């Protein structure tokens, strides 16, 4: 699965927002001081930010802006890593087409590493749009399973409750109550 497949399976923005909030709350309980998912409802004026870090250099960020949603992921071992060349460069087409109303987040210093946006996946959905979009990236000659990291970076966001339970049990090494997770994703307090 690449970014082209991801845009077909991402949930609606309101569902994505609910999952991001819930996973951050659940990680705060399960992970203590080292939570993988984080959510900042007032990251900047009118904008919320969800983040996830693997602990091994991989991450994603989801910006919830009144103009729409911008999702950026980074798989440091994928073929599309900007670190494949010096100086770093995005995979051709990765950021092409990002709407002007959302593109300011691509250069926000808070989202950059050493002045550069480390990203192997970029997806957006403008407010009022009927579907998610991505740039015209092509991975000719690369196995789709590991071309950009889209196949695994966003598993809990795409898979919802069951995917989060599997993630949390693996990362935190203990059983996680599926009904509790479903309840929190539905909006119940932790």
Instruction: Please name the residue ranges forming H helices in 32-105.
Output: 100-103
A 10 A CB-CB count for 3 gives: 28
Backbone angles phi, psi at 74, to 5 degrees: -140, 115
pLDDT tops 80 at residue 86: yes
| pLDDT band, very low/low/confident/very high, at 71 (cuts 50, 70, 90) | very high
142 pLDDT tier (thresholds 50, 70, 90): confident
End-to-end CA distance of the chain: 33
β-strands 68-74, 59-65 pairing: antiparallel
Q: How many Cβ atoms are within 10 Å of 121's Cβ, its own excluded?
A: 26
Residue 143 clears pLDDT 80, i.e. is over it: no
Distance CA 105, CA 156 (A): 23
Question: Sorting pLDDT into bands at 50, 70 and 90, what band is 145?
Answer: low
Q: What is the pLDDT of residues 160-171, one digit of tens each?
A: 999 999 999 999
CB 75 within 8 A of CB 153: yes
């Amino acid at each position: 699965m690449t970014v082209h497949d991801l845009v077909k399976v991402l949930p609606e923005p309101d569902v994505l927002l609910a999952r991001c909030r819930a996973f951050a709350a659940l990680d705060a309980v399960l992970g203590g001081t080292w939570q993988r998912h984080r959510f900042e409802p007032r990251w900047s004026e009118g904008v919320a930010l969800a983040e996830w870090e693997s602990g091994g250099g991989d991450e994603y960020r989801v910006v919830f802006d009144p103009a729409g949603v911008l999702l950026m992921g980074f798989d440091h071992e994928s073929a599309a890593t900007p670190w494949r060349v010096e100086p770093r460069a995005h995979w051709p087409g990765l950021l092409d087409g990002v709407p002007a109303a959302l593109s300011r987040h691509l250069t926000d210093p808070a989202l950059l590493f050493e002045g550069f946006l480390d990203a192997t996946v970029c997806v957006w959905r403008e407010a009022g749009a009927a579907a998610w979009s991505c740039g015209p990236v092509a991975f000719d000659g690369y196995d789709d399973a590991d071309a950009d990291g889209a196949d695994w970076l966003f598993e809990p966001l795409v898979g919802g409750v069951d995917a989060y339970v599997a993630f949390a049990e693996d990362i935190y090494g203990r059983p996680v109550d599926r009904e509790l997770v479903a309840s929190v994703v539905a909006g119940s307090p932790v």
